[in-house]
Structure 1
Amino acid sequence: MSTNGQQRASIRPGLLVDIVLKKDQASGQTTRGVVKDILTNSANHPHGIKVRLQSGDVGRVKTIVAGNE
Structure 2
Amino acid sequence: MNSINRSDIQVGLQVSIVLKQDQRSGNLTAGIVKNILTKSPTHPYGIKVRLESGAVGRVKTIDA
Pair in the same fold by TM > 0.5: yes
1:49 to 37, 47, 50: 47
Once superposed, what is the RMSD of the aligned Cα atoms?
0.6
Off by >3 Å, runs of 4+ in structure 1: none
Identity over aligned residues, as a percent?
A: 62
User: How far, CA to CA, are the matches of 1:22 and 1:61 in structure 2?
Assistant: 12
User: How far, CA to CA, are the matches of 2:49 and 2:19 in structure 1?
Assistant: 10
Which blocks of at least 5 consecutive residues in structure 2 are unaligned?
A: none
Residue 63 of structure 2 aligns to a residue whose secondary structure is strand
Residue 4 of structure 1 aligns to a residue whose secondary structure is coil
2:50 is the alignment partner of 1:26:
no
Residues paired across the two proteins, number: 64
Which blocks of at least 5 consecutive residues in structure 1 are unaligned?
A: none
Per-residue deviation, residues 14-60 of structure 1 (Å, max 9, x unmatched): 10000000000010100000000000000001100000000000000
TM-score (norm 1): 0.90
